[in-house]
Structure 1
Amino acid sequence: MNLTYFPRRHYTQGQTPLEKLTRFSQAIGGPNIYIKRDDLLGLTEGGNKTRKLEFLIADALAQGADTLITCGGVQSNHCRLTLAAAVKEGLKCRLVLSEMVPGSYNPQANGNVLLYHLLNVEKVNAVPWGTNLMAEMQNAAAEAIAEGRKPYIIPMGGSNHLGALGYIACAEEIMAQAFAAGLPIHHVVLPDGSAGTHSGLLLGFWGNNCHIPVTGVSVLNPKIVLENRIAELMQQTADYMGVNLKIAPDKIVCVDEYIGPGYTLPTADMVDAVRLLASTEGILLDPTYTGKAMAGLIGLAKQGYFKKNDNVLFLHTGGLPGLYANTPLFTP
């Protein structure tokens, strides 16, 4: 798929590593687990949103925007990276934060909240969980316009047809790395929140005639809601690119057994997965996304979801600052 027609900023030098997790694979009894280190992408503390923002920010700049407006949870990796991109480009940034737990936004908190303020966020509006976030962002945009600004709204997670282009690029990067290493990849597992990463990756594989199965581990929505959103976003992205999309619905696969009591709320399996990867490979996961997704991968492996000799690639989507906002979960 030819991405050269679409404006793009570049926030990462080269490719992110693709590593074999030998000791971790042994600890869970197989299969062969590999990891794509998108936690090492550019901008402040990295993460998958960097790839999406390369295309979104290019569009914002093309439209002459001077203020970015986006939304997310209180400890949002997407908000942190959007703010970092704004700093990089000399733009202002305003955030709408959704409090799953009432009153949970504390400007003195650690993790991403600390980084919002170090990165000099212009304004934060904390709203109750369930608030219409798009309406709140539109209100913020109207306020900015009244001040003589030119705002640009980026949806939650950067998950729209432009953001998905970032993971089409990632699919092509994975294919090139696997070819160079002589490594057949039999399956990809990733965290699924706002669906943009899964949509772009699966579309990228499909568009390059590569049929690696992708399983998303939901951290937010029920399986059916998430799969429908992925299908919708894949279609929107294909239409934007002028591609005739024909992908069977059964190729869009998610599991929702690892969400636990809710988005951002911890589970024992997540804590165990974070500890296991840290103690076997020295790689850190976050409690909201990658920790739950890795718990899902471990659970699927134990259920026989993969063949014992399969090469399974875990997409590390970052989120490390969230670990430091939840230290009591991991301390004795």
Structure 2
Amino acid sequence: MPLRRLVTHACRDGLVQALDPRCRFVHAPTPLVRIPRVAERLGLDLWIKRDDVTGGAEGGCMLRKAEFLAHDALRQHADVLVTGGHVQSDHVRVTALVAAMLGLRCELALWSNDPAGLLPRTGNAALVRLSGAHVRLLGPVVPSRRASAIDSLASDVTRRGLRPCAIPEGGASWVGTLGYVQACREIRRQLNVGLAGGARFDAIVVACASGGCAAGLALGAAAFDIADEVVAVPVEGDVISARCAVGRLIDEVSRAVPSAGRPVAWHVVGAPAAEETDRNFARDMACLGLVLDPHTTGKALRALANLVREDGRWVGRRVLFVHTGGLPVSWGEDSVDE
């Protein structure tokens, strides 16, 4: 075997060893499907990785991160999971339900613009209530103060004589990022048995909030040879902030797990700003058989559709769209036309 291939196999073996110590929550492998009407509408050879069905109420992309984050907490002998996010955060919901599954206490710092200061009874917040998690409602918290809000709550938990594991907003750490490196390993196995035609993809497209999914996909796509590039679409904040978040997490993983290697080419592409357009696009996709969250996956797929319209080189490309979930909070009572 050529030396280069020997080195590649050795690095991949080292990476696999880093990916195996984790909790097993994800209903894996999640489906890899093609919805012909959606592919035809977008003008792509489009395949969808259905990570909206990683689990039940605890499902979505955050469950992949939670496998590694929870394992790390157990390794530290923590008895409390501490994290924070918006009151309707998918990450907060998943953390609360995972803590319940493991018999751990969960303490949450939640921010909201609701002047009444009440935890909603719908969407993700309703599932947080059901989980028995302990909630500290903080009102609005600017992004630069959110990490300190989580750390402050963890310090309070420590003063009570408990052993917290503080998890960043969105699970955005090198540990959580491994969840989507593992997802690429899963996709490689699916391609190896002929799913999605068995061939690698030209590109992977994913919604980007805290950066962990995109960073993990960029590293995993290279390590497991599943795609040439990753396109991340920011759904919170701007393109520059998203680019910094993804780059930081790639660097953190590379330092912590050298066998992760170098990422494929990755880009951050903004979607044209228009909330009502996102909602209309999501409605159109639902009529074709694909249900999306207008604010995350709907925005990301609309950005991909915009790329195809504006750049003819995208027409007909073989693209994997990662459906990251977000459905529990997507469609409130006032969201669907009669």
AA partner of residue 270 (structure 2)? D
Question: 1:1-332 to 2 correspondence within 5 Å?
Answer: 1=12, 2-5=15-18, 7-28=21-42, 30-42=43-55, 44-99=57-112, 101-103=113-115, 106-130=118-142, 132-179=145-192, 180-181=194-195, 182-184=197-199, 185-243=201-259, 245-247=261-263, 251-260=265-274, 267-281=275-289, 283-304=290-311, 306-324=313-331, 326-332=332-338
CA distance in 1, matches of 2:272, 2:187: 26
Give the structure with the larger helix fraction. Answer: 2
**Normalization by structure 2: what TM-score?**
0.88
CA contact (8 A) 1:223 1:255 kept: yes
CA 296–72 in structure 1, closer or farther in 2 if over 3 Å, else same: same
CA 48–219 in structure 1, closer or farther in 2 if over 3 Å, else same: same
Mean CA deviation greater in 59-68 or 291-300: 291-300
Deviations 1:4-48 (A, max 9, x none): 3452000023300011010112234x1122110000002524100
CA contact (8 A) 2:117 2:139 kept: no
CA distance in 2, matches of 1:161, 1:199: 9
CA contact (8 A) 2:110 2:135 kept: no
Per the TM alignment, residue 292 of structure 1 is displaced from its structure 2 partner at its CA by 1.1
Deviations 1:99-149 (A, max 9, x none): 2x3537532431011111011112232331316122111221122122221
Give the aligned CA root-mean-square deviation in angstroms. Answer: 2.0
CA distance in 1, matches of 2:56, 2:156: 28
CA contact (8 A) 2:28 2:54 kept: no
CA contact (8 A) 1:287 1:322 kept: no
Q: Paired residues, what number?
A: 320
Instruction: Quote the residue 1:263 is aligned against.
Output: none
CA distance in 2, matches of 1:274, 1:287: 5
Per the TM alignment, residue 320 of structure 1 is displaced from its structure 2 partner at its CA by 0.8
Per the TM alignment, residue 220 of structure 1 is displaced from its structure 2 partner at its CA by 1.3
Per the TM alignment, residue 246 of structure 1 is displaced from its structure 2 partner at its CA by 4.3
Per the TM alignment, residue 95 of structure 1 is displaced from its structure 2 partner at its CA by 1.1
CA distance in 2, matches of 1:253, 1:311: 17
SS in 1 for 2:138: strand
Counting aligned pairs with the same residue, the percent is 30
AA partner of residue 308 (structure 2)? A
SS in 1 for 2:288: helix
CA distance in 1, matches of 2:225, 2:39: 29
Mean CA deviation greater in 270-279 or 67-76: 270-279
AA partner of residue 268 (structure 1)? E
